[in-house]
Structure formats: structure tokens, C-alpha cells
Amino acid sequence: MQLLDGRVASKAVKEQLKAEVEKIVATGARAPHLAVILVGNNGASETYVASKVKTCAEIGYQSTMVRRDLDITEADLLAEIQKLNKDQSVDGILVQLPLPKHISEQKVIAAIDPTKDVDGFHPVSAGNLTLGMPTFIPATPYGIMLMLEHYQIPTKGKHAVVIGRSNIVGRPMSILLSGNNPYGNCTVTLCHSHTPNLQDICLQADIIVAALGRPGFVQPEMVKDGAIIIDVGITRVEDATAKKGYRIKGDVDFEAVAPKSSYITPVPGGVGLMTIAGLLKNTLVAYENRQEDLRR
């Protein structure tokens, strides 16, 4: 079993991005700029946003954090997005999800200028991804592809089982793994809560991507020997012995499954770190596209 270590792989991506930014800034140009909107003060969202802003600083990006109260109206939030859409100094816009119930996430995502959609959730980005055209890939599946690339895991001809069909993880992951690209060309089975015989399907998998949000769901009896295991799950599970009162758990029972696997991602320290790497790669592309447009 080899660990697919998000710390190592994300460090490599960040170093590469930092070097790119240094080159850009040395020419006298401005650095890439990510704007993050955070509504309310959900603990997990605060942690994710803080980590994104911190990583921007580490690699030399500019970042702006727009904080709004939980009771912001949908109209006011859409107006904030329009402001950032028009701001020529902003390359990427990210609205941290989830949003409060009175705001339509779909409307908010669709309001983002697709050229600044660094989270890759806009319908234009999703359409391009489906058609195999250049686009912003949702950060988590993109991060997983970067992880496979970093560890040079061959995927061609493999059977990949993706558990979970959300628009931000499972579905785009299934598109990428089935696509004609260096870390794709898999035969993919996309599973969800109505899939019967999930255990039998998983037992046929060379690669399992678990993205369902059920801690410890993937057990050794679901995994064939030598399978590659990618654990996307992040769930806070109460634990009185932990300093914060909870522990982060993945969707895979790591201790039990690891001995059967050829490669496995840990939680924490796996896919989560790669998600930020994917987001920052997208932001650099948004920046480069903007500079290219200005030169025309």
C-alpha cells in the first residue's frame, strides 16, 4: 500500500504556481487575484475559506475576502457578485457553499462571470467539461486528477467506481475519469443512493472514488485486492477526546481498507489539500486568459 499524500502532491503544485507568479510579478505585472465571498459564520466554511486565503498569500496571489451576514438578501448577494464580475482586478470569484436556505445556490452560481468561475460550478463550465472542451474543472475532481498525475497512477482501461453523483464532486469526477485524457480513459460506473448491489459493483472496481458523505462507508469487504482508493469524504464526527470536540472522518474505513489497497488517500491530508491546489490552478488560468484578452 502506498499513501497518496495530499501534503506532498499539493506542495508540488503550490511550488510550481509560486514560481509562475514570481515570473509574472518580475515583469511588473500584477499577481493573480482571487475573491472569496463568505456568507454567515459556519465553522467548516470559515476553516475552508481561511485555508484558501492563507494559501493565496503563500504562493503570492492577491486575495479579497468579502464577508456578509447570514441574513443578506439574495438580491444583495447577486449585486456583490456583479461588482466582482465588473472589477477588472479580480480574476477568480468563489462563493463558499453552502448558502443559507433563502438564497438559491443555482442563481448565485449562474450569476458569476463564467470567465471568473474558478470553482467550475457555472453551467457554462459544466457544459464545456461534458463536451471535453477547455474549461474550469470543479476544484475537488481537478485536485484528484492532479493527485493521480503527481503519483503517475496509470488509469487507462481501468474500471472506476464513483460513489456519489453531486455536481461538485461525483458527476464531474466520472466525466474526467471516463474522458480521453492522460489520467482518464477509465470505464466508469457512477453510483448513488438508489444503486442496488453497491458492494458487488465496488468489488469489480480497480479505482474507487468515495464521495457520499457517510463516514467509514467503504469497508474492506467492498474492496478488491490492489484497488486504488480515493476518499473525498469530509465529515465532522463528535469525539469528546479530541481537542476541538470532533474529528474529521472520510468515507472510507482507512485502517481496515488500507492493507487491501495499492494506493489510498488519507483523511485529513488527502483530497482536501488537492482541492485548494485545483482552485489555485484555475485562478492562474483565469488570470492568464484575462491578460490575453487585454492584449487583444
172 makes contact with ligand NAP (CB under 6 A) = no
Q: Which is nearer to ligand NAP, 189 or 275 (CB)?
A: 275
Binders of ligand NAP among 55-114, rule CB under 6 A? none
Binders of ligand NAP among 233-272, rule CB under 6 A? 233-235, 271-272
User: 74-100 b/e with 16+ CB inside 10 Å = b?
Assistant: eeebbebbeebbeeeebbbbbbbeebe
Among positions 40, 213, 220, 269, the unique one binding ligand NAP when judged by CB under 6 A = 213
What minimum distance in Å lies between the beta carbon of 4 and ligand NAP? 13
Q: Catalytic site residue 96?
A: yes
In angstroms, rounded to a whole number, what is the distance separating the alpha carbons of residues 223 and 216? Answer: 13
> Exactly one of 14, 91, 96, 206 is catalytic; which is it?
96
Q: Which is nearer to ligand NAP, 200 or 293 (CB)?
A: 200
What minimum distance in Å lies between the beta carbon of 47 and ligand NAP? 11
Among positions 72, 207, 218, 232, the unique one binding ligand NAP when judged by CB under 6 A = 232
- DSSP string for 231-279: E---EEEE-TTSTTSEEEE-SB-HHHHGGGEEEE--SSSSHHHHHHHHH
Q: Catalytic site residue 116?
A: no
275 makes contact with ligand NAP (CB under 6 A) = yes
Q: Which is nearer to ligand NAP, 159 or 236 (CB)?
A: 236
Q: Catalytic site residue 52?
A: yes
Q: How far is CA 109 from CA 25, 98, 168, 276, in A?
A: 31, 12, 12, 19
285 makes contact with ligand NAP (CB under 6 A) = no
Q: Which is nearer to ligand NAP, 227 or 248 (CB)?
A: 248
Q: Which is nearer to ligand NAP, 59 or 277 (CB)?
A: 277
Helices 271-295, 43-59: crossing angle, 10 deg rounding: 50
In angstroms, rounded to a whole number, what is the distance separating the alpha carbons of residues 281 and 273? Answer: 13
CB contact at 8 A, 6 and 272: yes
In angstroms, rounded to a whole number, what is the distance separating the alpha carbons of residues 23 and 61? Answer: 12
Among positions 106, 181, 187, 193, the unique one binding ligand NAP when judged by CB under 6 A = 193
**Residue type for 211, please?**
A
Binders of ligand NAP among 127-166, rule CB under 6 A? 140, 163-166
CB contact at 8 A, 115 and 290: yes
Q: Which is nearer to ligand NAP, 193 or 219 (CB)?
A: 193
Beta bridge partners of 220: none
> Exactly one of 14, 91, 116, 119 is catalytic; which is it?
119
194 makes contact with ligand NAP (CB under 6 A) = yes
Among positions 4, 21, 168, 257, the unique one binding ligand NAP when judged by CB under 6 A = 168
What helix, strand, coil percent values describe the chain, rounded to 5? 45, 20, 40
Q: Compute how many residues bind ligand NAP; rule: CB under 6 A.
A: 25
CB atoms within 10 A of CB 146: 22
In angstroms, rounded to a whole number, what is the distance separating the alpha carbons of residues 247 and 210? Answer: 18
- DSSP string for 173-196: HHHHHHSSSTT---EEEEE-TT-T
> Exactly one of 52, 116, 158, 249 is catalytic; which is it?
52
The residues of the shown chain that bind ligand NAP, judged by CB under 6 A, are 140, 163-166, 168-170, 191-195, 198, 211-214, 232-235, 271-272, 275
| Residues carrying an active site annotation | 52, 96, 119
